[in-house]
Structure 1
Amino acid sequence: MAPHRDFPHLNDAGEVHMVDVAAKPSTPRRAVAEGRLVTTPEVVNLVRQHAAPKGDVLAVARVAAIQAAKRTAEWIPLAHPVPLTHVAVEISPEPDGFRVLATVETVWATGVEMEALTAVTAALLTLYDMLKARDRGMVMTGVQLVEKTGGRSGTYRRTETPPEPE
């Protein structure tokens, strides 16, 4: 069977394996991801007024995101455990929900896109869990990589925004 050069997680026999990054240089790498939780204006106001029954919803979601970024390799089977140097999570209330933005940095042999995406997802799940008593119809949407820098593939910046669900 021909080598799978376009799919580094496949070996020459087409079998899934973890990519060997031992020969790759450690360089600064950064990834930014975002996502949204769509809910009612009433739920947003409840959080803004610090009146959610489960406490400081935004603080708990930020901590969940940071923990998830640090443990991405436990969630994603072929991800490497990456020594993170920085994780920042911003959760912004909007009229119809919350926007989560996660920035993850390292100096290592592989990127941190998965860590940023995992952080966003964990924050959204935590928000949902802490607010579901008030709105079970919330929707997590738009989880996406916004930007990535460093490494052999260079810089990526999202130029388009995916459509919102109907």
Structure 2
Amino acid sequence: MSDKLTHIDKNGNANMVDVGDKDIIKRTAEAVGKIYLSKETLKLIEENNIKKGDVISVARIAGIMGAKQTSNLIPLCHNINIEKVSLDFTLEEDGVLIKSYLRCSYKTGIEMEALTAVSIAALTIWDMCKAVDKNMRISDITLLSKTKEI
């Protein structure tokens, strides 16, 4: 692992990495995170009885939209043409597990978009459930994998 910070220039200033000379290659990333919810809230989600609507469908759309906005949210991220975004939601005993998969063909990776998709999906679940669950917790957001193929 390199100990050089690529987003800092020689004078210590924030710097957007120059990817101009890099090759365009296929890249993927997967991320995961969890929102911990009460059993009562999970039941309401499962039965589609949250007053704001279908929590999982709205969170999926929000996660996709969030991925597409990553370069607007994180200052030094490149604007990437995303080819694929998918989000999977698993209702577990203590919350909802959220997993994202993203793919692009570009000069830099797509892991920030994968992490953003999970984060925005979790925040959307929070927003939709906040009236009925005061003890929610978002945790364990992490990158599972990133790949690149020439």
Give the TM-score range, shorter chain. Answer: over 0.9
Per-residue CA deviations over 1:13-52 (Å, capped at 9, x if unaligned) read 2211100101000100000000000011111111111111
Displacement of 1:93: 0.7
Unmatched 5+ stretches in structure 2: none
Aligned residue in 2 for 1:61: 59
Residue 34 (structure 2) aligns with: 36
- Which stretches in structure 1 are left out of the alignment for 5+ residues? 153-166
Post-superposition CA distance 1:89-115 (Å, at most 9, x none): 011111111000011110000000100
Task: Describe the SS at the equivalent of 1:103.
Answer: strand
What's the RMSD between the two structures over aligned residues? 1.5
Q: Give the TM-score taking structure 2 as reference length.
A: 0.95
Select 1:104's aligned residue among 99, 102, 105.
Answer: 102
- 2:61 maps to a residue whose letter is V
**Shift >2 Å, 4+ stretches:** none
Corresponding position of 2:69: 71
Give SS of 1:68's match.
helix
Moved more, 124-133 or 4-13: 4-13
Q: Report if the CA contact (8 A) 1:37-1:124 is conserved.
A: yes
Partner amino acid, structure 2, of 1:62: R
Taking the aligned partners of 2:3 and 2:144, their CA distance within structure 1 comes to 26
